[in-house]
Structures are given as C-alpha cells and as structure tokens.
C-alpha cells in the first residue's frame, strides 16, 4: 500500500514540474525602446498542449496578446517621460492546460525612452521686398519636437545669402540688394537649415523658400502666448505680445490695434513698441467683476491692416475671475489693529494720570491735620462744641456752656470730617491699577498676536478685537470718576504705541 502512494506522488510531481513557459532566449529580449516592435509566440514545455493563453497587467500599455500565445508590442512614444529615461512594466503570462493545470510566470519589461528628432513641416513662403529690411519668424506651429524638448535653429552658412541671417530662435532677416531681388524673380531661393533638440542634439533638416513679392498679401499676425483663451483673476496682469509682419515689407503695414467687447478695457492698454511689435498690458481691478458674479468674459480682437486695406486678425477670450482685494483688506485690518491699540494706550495714559492724582490725594489724606479735636459736653438738653488746642499753644482756651457738665474729648483726622476718606481713595487706586494691568496684558497679547498681515487675515482677528473692547470699556471706570472732558484717546504715532506695546507692528 505504501509503494502505490509513492508512485502516484512521483507522477503528480512530474506533471506539475513539466509545465514551463518558453520565452525568447536572446539576452535582454525584455528590454526595448519606445517605437521598437517585439513579437514572439509563447509556448509551453509540456506533454499536453495548452488550451488557452492569457496575460495580466497590460492595461494602457498597448500590448496585444491572443489566446493562442501570439505576443506583439510596439510601445508608443508617450509611455516614458523624457526626464524619466526608462520605466518598468510588470506583466503576468498564464497558460491553461487541457487537464486543468495552469502555468504562470511574471515578466518585467524595461522600456527605454527614445529621443526623436524635431519635426519640420512645409514652411510658408517668405516673401521679401527689395531694399527693405525683411524679417520672417519661422512659425512655431510648423516646427516642433515630439518629445517636448527645447529646440534651436542652426543655419547652414553655405546656404545663407549674403547679408541674411537666421537666428537660433528661427528669425530670418534679410535686406536684399537690387541684384539679389531681381534674381528671385526668375528663381526663388531655397535655403536649408538645421533644427536641433536639446540636450540630445538630434537634428532635422528644414527648408525655407524665399520669393519676391508679386502681390499685395495680407499681413501676418502672431499673438504670444498663442492660447486663444486666457484665464486670470482680478488684479492679475494680462500681458500679450503681438508680432506683425507683411510679405510686401514692413512699410506696407498701415495700422495695428485691437477691439474689445467691454468698454472698461482702456485703449491705452495697447502699446505699439515698433511697427511690427506691440504689447497688450491690462490689469483688471477688483471692481471689474460684479459682486453677484464669479467671473466675467471679454473678447479681444487684435488686427493688422496694410496699405491696401488687407486685414488679418486674431481673437483672444479673457476670463476674469472674482478675487478678494487683499491689499484693501490688509489696509482695513491694520486700521482696526492700530485703532484698538490707540484706544488701549489712550485709556492706559488716562489711568496713569489718574493714579498720580489719587496718590497725591492719598498722601494728603494720610498726613491729615492732627490739631483738630471734637468736644462733646452735655448740660441738660444742651450740647457744646468747641475746638481745643493741645499743649502746643497755651494761649488758646476751651469754650464751655453753662455750669457743671460732663466733657468728652476725642481726636479725629480732618479727612474723616472735612475731606475724602482714605478708604475710598485706596479702593479707587486698587481699581485703577487692576484695570490698567488688565489692559496692558490684553494690549500686549493683541499687539503681538496680530503683528503680521497674515495673522490679521484670520477669522480670529475680529473675535479677539471684540474681546479687547470690554476691557477698554470696563464698567468699573465709573468708580474712578475720570474727567469726562478729556478725550478718550489721541492719534498716537507708531513710536509712541511701540513704547507702550513693544510688539506693535507699524505695517
């Protein structure tokens, strides 16, 4: 019985291990570049033929794999970023056997970025005028790099006519002489140049055809940036550069300008720097978008007209979004910040003055006039009052009323009888110091916490400011009997405020 079990186990192990997916045997077969094509047929090393093949993880890769095991992949050029250089793709190959077994293998494909040279389409003809400075900017829409690399133009000097120049930015300039211009009448000039991408320096050959102008062609107008729709917020600057050229020569340009669908955009926003280059600079104010709206659209139409009234125009739509006026908000917040501290300092100064007055009154009350006394004598229903002078002056006598009586003599301080009470003054001094200290602490905290513009933009600013007002308007102030004719505060300078509140900010 044990022998039969061992035989079955060995057979089962042999069948399980016999499954093996067979891939291309060349070294590095799973490493390829963008645009390269990889094809092979997946097979299984097994005594039983597979019934079906399948793959996992091929989404968005472009891999084609059928149930018969036919693999085909030509990676597109957008799978690996130009700065990333390479990228790994993990896929799983599976083979299903007719007897229900399954073989499964994970393969990692390494895809390398392939730099492609610039692409140059057929350029429009550059028309030149005799004895005039002709400039032709090779349009960016005709020259591009498929990988998004920056490009530069490199002239082939043998191809450039005398006096002409092609800049690295693709600007062709030439002032043909009379003989050069007449030579173009019979045979237009074709110059070749190179366009290189950076930093790989892959290049492509371009051709620019130059011909003598024989008709009055309309001007060419280029708006930079070239977007037909621009989105900005209020108080942002809209800056557009307008380049104009005329195949018949720049002298043929009669007028360059713009038309706006909104009268709020001033005509002064358009500035003509030269005849072929203008600039549109406009800053929509914070009141440009109505409060009820979140945005507002305007249409700008830039046009160029030549001497024959040929017209070229480009339209740009500008969307202005409503924005919060931070400058105005900061200004108002600072006014609240400073005024609150001015009120606090004004009251602190009044309390300091009042404290000096109370201190003097207390000293005077404490000193008193000890030369006064009270005499109480009783004679029937009669009571007599008389000042008595102590041993310091024997010339004074005591007045008495009627015969024999009982005399009571007590010494009192003058303030208890004629002036203010010492106790009342001490109570007022205590209240004065209490309010003053409370106001100083609250003012210091407020000045320190909201010294920066950013902190005053928070919602807590108005809450803390409201907390400061009850301290300034303390109900115990009525006890102090402060002179109401004095102003509650004055316009203190920043230096004076900083002296009381060291953390006060002047901006």
Share of the chain above pLDDT 70, in %: 83
- 90 lies in the same domain as 201: no
Task: Identify the DSSP state of 48.
Answer: S
Q: What are phi and psi of 388, to 5 degrees?
A: -125, 140
Q: How far is CA 502 from the centre of its chain?
A: 32
**Residue 500 pLDDT more than 80?**
yes
CATH number where 96 lies: 2.60.40.10
Of the residues 112, 147, 178, the one at which a domain ends? 112
pLDDT band at 248, cuts 50/70/90?
low
Predicted local distance difference test score (pLDDT) of residue 485 = 54
* Pair 277, 349 in one domain: no
| 299 pLDDT higher than 60 | yes
**pLDDT tens-digit series, residues 463-487:** 888 888 888 888 777 777 776 555 5
Residue 72 lies in a domain: yes
Over residues 239-261, the mean pLDDT reads 85
Whether 505 maps to a domain, the answer reads no
What is the per-residue pLDDT for 29? 92
Tokens for 419, please give them: 């002036």
In a domain, 483, yes or no: yes
pLDDT attached to residue 164: 94
Domains: count for the chain: 5
Q: Are residues 338 and 482 in the same domain?
A: yes
Check whether residue 349 and residue 440 sit in a common domain.
yes
pLDDT in tens, 377-421: 444 444 444 444 444 444 444 444 444 444 444 444 444 444 567
Regarding whether 59 and 15 lie in a shared domain, the answer is yes
Tell me the C-alpha distance between 93 and 483, whole Å: 95
Among 259, 293, 321, give the residue marking a domain's end.
Answer: 321
Give the length of the chain: 507
Domain identity same for 351 and 471: yes
Q: Is residue 69 part of a domain?
A: yes
- Provide the domain limits for residue 172: 119-212
The reply to whether 344 and 484 lie within a common domain is yes
Do 347 and 453 lie in one domain? The reply is yes
Do 26 and 108 lie in one domain? The reply is yes
- Rg of the chain in Å (alpha carbons): 49
- pLDDT at position 368: 62
For residue 266, give both structure tokens: 């001033």
């Amino acid at each position: 019985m044990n022998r039969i079990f061992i035989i079955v186990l060995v057979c089962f192990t042999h069948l399980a291990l016999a499954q093996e997916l067979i891939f291309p045997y060349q070294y590095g077969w799973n490493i390829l570049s963008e645009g390269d094509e990889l094809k092979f047929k997946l097979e299984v090393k097994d005594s039983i033929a597979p019934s079906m093949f399948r793959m996992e993880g091929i989404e968005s890769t472009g891999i084609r794999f059928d149930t018969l095991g036919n693999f085909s992949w030509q990676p597109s050029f957008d799978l690996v970023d130009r700065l990333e250089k390479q990228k790994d793709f993990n896929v799983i190959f599976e083979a299903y056997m007719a007897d229900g077994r399954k073989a499964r293998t994970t393969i990692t494909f390494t895809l390398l970025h392939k730099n492609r040279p610039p692409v140059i389409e057929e350029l429009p003809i550059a028309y030149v005028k005799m004895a005039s400075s002709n400039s032709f900017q090779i349009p960016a829409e005709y020259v591009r790099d498929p990988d998004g690399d920056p490009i530069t133009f490199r002239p082939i000097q043998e191809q450039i006519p005398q006096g002409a120049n092609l800049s690295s930015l693709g600007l062709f300039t030439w002032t043909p002489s009379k003989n050069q211009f007449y030579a173009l009448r019979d045979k237009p000039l074709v110059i070749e140049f190179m366009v290189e991408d950076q930093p790989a320096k892959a290049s492509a050959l371009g051709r620019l055809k130059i011909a003598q102008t024989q008709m009055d062609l309309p001007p060419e107008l280029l708006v930079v940036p070239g977007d037909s729709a621009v989105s900005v917020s209020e108080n942002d600057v809209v800056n557009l550069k307008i380049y104009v050229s005329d195949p018949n020569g720049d002298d043929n340009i009669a007028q360059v300008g713009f038309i706006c669908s909104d009268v709020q955009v001033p005509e002064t926003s358009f500035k003509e720097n030269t005849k072929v280059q203008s600039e549109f600079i406009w800053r929509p104010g914070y009141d440009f978008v109505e409060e009820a709206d979140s945005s507002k659209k305007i249409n700008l139409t830039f046009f160029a007209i030549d001497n024959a009234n040929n017209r070229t125009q480009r339209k740009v739509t500008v969307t202005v979004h409503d924005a919060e006026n931070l400058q105005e908000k900061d200004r108002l917040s600072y006014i609240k910040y400073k005024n609150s501290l001015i009120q606090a300092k004004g009251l602190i100064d009044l309390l300091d003055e009042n404290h000096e007055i109370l201190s003097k009154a207390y000293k005077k009350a404490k000193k008193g006039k000890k030369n006064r006394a009270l005499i109480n004598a009783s004679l029937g229903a009669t009571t007599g009052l008389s000042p008595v002078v102590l041993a310091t002056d024997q010339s004074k006598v005591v007045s008495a009323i009627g015969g024999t009586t009982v005399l009571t003599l007590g010494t009192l301080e003058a303030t208890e009888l004629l002036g203010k009470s010492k106790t009342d003054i001490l109570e007022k001094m205590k209240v004065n110091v209490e309010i003053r200290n409370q106001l100083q602490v609250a003012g210091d905290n407020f000045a320190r916490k909201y010294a920066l513009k950013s902190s005053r933009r928070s919602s807590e600013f108005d809450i803390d400011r409201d907390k400061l007002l009850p301290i300034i308007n303390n109900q115990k102030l009525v006890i102090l009997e402060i002179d109401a004719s004095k102003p509650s505060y004055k316009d203190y300078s920043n230096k004076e405020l900083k002296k009381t509140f060291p953390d006060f900010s002047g901006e």
